Amino acid sequence: MLLTKATGGTAIAGFEWEHDGDTVDVPIELAVELITIDPVEFSVPDSKGDSTFSEITPAAELSESPPPRRRKGGKGEVEEGTEGKDAK
């Protein structure tokens, strides 16, 4: 996957961006990780290969959040066998 870095002079995981705006072919897993960490610094070039930036949404943002957990026994309810004991 082609990955553009805004600021050059950096090497990460054996891949080097020598100049500002350089585009390097990296494994997709690394590209997604770097974009997730710093979406301003790293981007994917548009379909024409221009060094202009296009946004992509990391997979973590595409999935829905899991439903909230609910505690057993609501407020004011007493579970069987706990009467008179301090609740934790």
For 22-77, write each residue's pLDDT tens digit.
999 999 999 999 999 999 999 999 876 554 444 444 554 545 556 666 666 555 55
**Coil, helix or strand at residue 2:** strand
Taking the model in full, what pTM does it have?
0.54
- 15-39 burial, b at 16+ Cβ within 10 Å, e below that, comes to bebeeeebbbebeeebbbebbeeee
For 5-27, write each residue's pLDDT tens digit.
999 999 999 999 999 999 999 99
Q: What residue ranges do the domains of the chain occupy? A: 2-58
32 is written with which tokens? 């997604």
- Strand ranges (E), the chain: 2-5, 10-12, 15-17, 23-25, 42-45, 53-54
- What contacts 34, CB < 8 A, 6 or more positions away? 3, 12, 26, 41, 42
